[in-house]
């Protein structure tokens, strides 16, 4: 479908067309598109840039990942479709394992997504053969691997379902969420909720990992000084300032 | 795809599945799902109810429709999929013509949507044979009929593209938009921007039509006292209050 090039939101429309194409390929679910739309709305409200509280949370995420014993980057359909390269780059930078974990799980989608990540350079992607369940969840979305999600101590969950984020926290894990809505259940429950667009968040975390690595005292300080509730409140204040100034007027 | 019944957002998830199903039938486009997601985000922020400035705008919309010479209710794929019954009910209440107008236009989608509306009880739905263009737009989205959109004086556009809303205003029409984002280009350009979920908006307008009909002095007063900029500002203030109180926490 052709988008008129003079449309003021041409770039954003093209990203949407790309995601829509991934639905045809079976990697993204139709409801995953609705979820992307919700994210877009919050991104407009933040001016489509990493606001200061997001940058702070991204630094804290880097600090936790550097201290982790078994860090895991969790990948679902939307995340893989939006930016496989940076998900793989983060896993390599930490280094962390990668595991595909789907809300709408079928063997075909699982295989399709893992193959897609492998075609982009990912190695040893977990998830094909789940042998454990996330406690407190029914439904196939509970399935995971013991060596990955189940035994992880620090886990990055981009664009996560609220139930699953909560269940992972209940299992005692440090949950780093990337979710543009600062008031979502995922953001409310996560240890380190990051309200930022996924590509920007991943690139910032990777940069902070490079800056913090080897500086153990600073890493500890970054973690100690962080207050997730205060951070979320700052995020909401940034959104309100943006709204009141009419800044988020780019939507169509 | 089965949704677990104990999911806190079961109802919202079911609506999403329904829209996703309409994509399979070719009535809704995949990018229409993304657009629905953006709307959902704003609806959460407004507490999923008609806030006072929305009710005011809905009353003004009813007043304009009652004074119109050639009112038209414009219907696109998302609108038809979300609530054909209330779109038809509004057209009958005014009475107004209905015209299908698509951003992603193909003869098959056009015929599919008009047939769908007719199966729900709509009569004389325009759009099958466009004989005019909305001025100032390139692309097939400019196509319309002379007896409907082109010659209309008051036009209701639920979930409209910003470019088209602007073009219709430039043609001198009273444009009543239904768009959950009060800062969208559509809301900024429309004569009467309504920031409310479509079903709630349509039901409220229909109710106000019943209340106002025959009261010409009140109708004039309602229109005269309305200030669309002030109304949009109030909407944004309501959203900020909701955000700051952590009210919009139902998202997943």
Tell me: the pLDDT tens digits for A149-202?
999 999 999 998 888 999 999 999 999 999 999 988 999 999 999 999 999 999
Contacts of A9 in chain B (CB under 8 A): 162
- How far apart are the CA of B184 and the nearest CA of chain A, in angstroms? 5
Chain B environment of A33 (Cβ under 8 Å) = 30-31, 33-34, 37
Give pLDDT, residue B56. 98
Q: What is the pLDDT along chain B (252 residues), one digit of tens a residue?
A: 567 777 777 777 777 888 988 888 889 988 889 999 999 999 988 888 999 999 999 999 999 999 999 999 999 999 999 999 999 999 999 999 999 998 888 889 999 999 999 999 999 999 999 999 999 888 888 999 999 999 999 999 999 888 899 999 999 999 999 999 998 999 999 999 999 999 999 999 999 999 999 999 999 999 999 999 999 999 999 989 888 886 444 444
For B61-79, how does the pLDDT look when each residue is reduced to its tens digit (9 = 90+)?
999 999 999 999 999 999 9
Residue B119 CB burial class (10 angstroms; 0-12, 13-18, ≥19): exposed
Q: CA angle at residue B71 from B65 to B75, to 5 degrees? A: 105
Least Cα separation, residue A143 to chain B (angstroms): 15
Q: How far apart are CA A32 and CA A80, in angstroms?
A: 12
Scan for tokens 């996924």, then name that residue: A198
CA-CA distance, B54 to B59, in Å (whole number)?
A: 9
The reply to whether A64 touches chain B by the CB within 8 Å rule is no
B76 within domain boundaries: yes
**pTM, whole model, 2 decimals?**
0.87
CATH of the domain at A221: 3.40.50.12640
Mark yes or no for CB contact A249/B185 under 8 Å: yes
Q: DSSP states of B165-206 as a string?
A: HHHHHHTT-EEEEE-S-TTSHHHHH-SEEE-S-HHHHHHHHH
Residue A81 lies in a domain: yes
**B99: phi then psi, degrees, rounded to nearest 5:** -135, 130
In this structure, is residue B146 part of a structural domain? yes
Taking only residues 179 to 238 of chain B, the set having a beta carbon closer than 8 angstroms to any beta carbon of chain A reads 181, 183-186, 188, 236-237
Query: Is A32 part of any domain?
Result: no
Mean pLDDT of A120-140: 92
Give the integer Cα–Cα distance in Å for B49 and B46. Answer: 6
Burial zone of A249 (CB within 10 Å; 0-12 exposed, 13-18 middle, 19+ buried)? middle
Tokens standing for A1? 């479908």
- Residue B65 Rama label (left phi>0; alpha psi -120 to 50; beta): alpha
Q: Treating both helix axes as pointing N-terminal to C-terminal, what angle do A30-45 and B10-24 enclose, rounded to 10 degrees?
A: 120
B-chain residues within 8 Å CB-CB of A163? 7-8, 252
**C-alpha of B20 from chain center:** 19
* Cross-chain residue pair B30–A20, CB shorter than 8 Å: yes
How many Å lie between the alpha carbon of B64 and the closest alpha carbon of chain A?
24
Q: What is the mean pLDDT of chain A?
A: 91
CB B181 within 8 A of CB B42: yes
In a domain, A247, yes or no: no
- Whether B35 maps to a domain, the answer reads no
B166: closest chain A residue by CA: A252
Domain count for chain B, please give it. Answer: 1
Whether residue B31 is contained in a domain is answered as no
Instruction: Tell me the chain B residues in contact with residue A138 when contact means C-beta distances shorter than 8 Å.
Output: 4, 6
Is B183 within 8 Å of A33 when comparing Cβ atoms? no
Contact A34 B16 (CB under 8 A): yes
Q: In this structure, are strands B97-100 and B72-75 parallel, antiparallel, or unpaired?
A: parallel
Contacts with A109 (C-beta within 8 Å, 6 or more apart), sequence order: A26, A27, A77, A102
Residue B68 within a domain: yes
Q: Could you give the CA distance from residue B132 to residue B152 in angstroms, rounded to a whole number? A: 12
Residues of B whose CB is below 8 A from A2: 139
Q: Give me the domain span that covers residue A128.
A: 52-242
């Amino acid at each position: 479908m052709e988008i008129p090039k003079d449309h003021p939101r041409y770039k954003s429309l093209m990203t949407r067309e790309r995601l829509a194409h991934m639905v045809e390929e079976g990697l993204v679910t139709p409801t995953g598109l609705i979820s992307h739309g919700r994210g877009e709305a919050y991104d407009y409200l933040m001016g489509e840039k990493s606001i200061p509280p997001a940058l702070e949370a991204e630094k804290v995420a880097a600090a936790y990942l550097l201290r982790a014993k078994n860090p895991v980057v969790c990948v679902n359909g939307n995340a893989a479709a939006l930016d496989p390269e940076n998900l793989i780059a983060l896993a390599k930078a930490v280094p962390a394992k990668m595991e595909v974990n789907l809300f709408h799980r079928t063997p075909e989608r699982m295989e399709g997504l893992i193959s897609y990540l492998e075609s982009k350079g990912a190695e040893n992607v977990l998830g094909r053969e789940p042998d454990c369940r996330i406690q407190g969840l029914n439904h196939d979305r509970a399935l995971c691997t013991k060596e990955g999600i189940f035994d992880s101590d620090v886990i990055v969950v981009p664009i996560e379902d609220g139930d699953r984020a909560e269940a992972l926290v209940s299992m005692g894990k440090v949950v780093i969420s990337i979710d543009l809505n600062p008031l979502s259940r995922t953001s409310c429950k996560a240890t380190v909720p990051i309200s930022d667009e996924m590509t920007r968040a991943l690139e910032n975390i990777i940069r902070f990992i490079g800056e913090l690595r080897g500086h153990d005292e600073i890493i500890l300080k970054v973690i100690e000084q962080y207050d997730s509730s205060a951070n979320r409140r700052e995020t909401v204040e940034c959104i309100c300032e943006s709204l009141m100034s009419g800044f988020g007027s780019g939507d169509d």
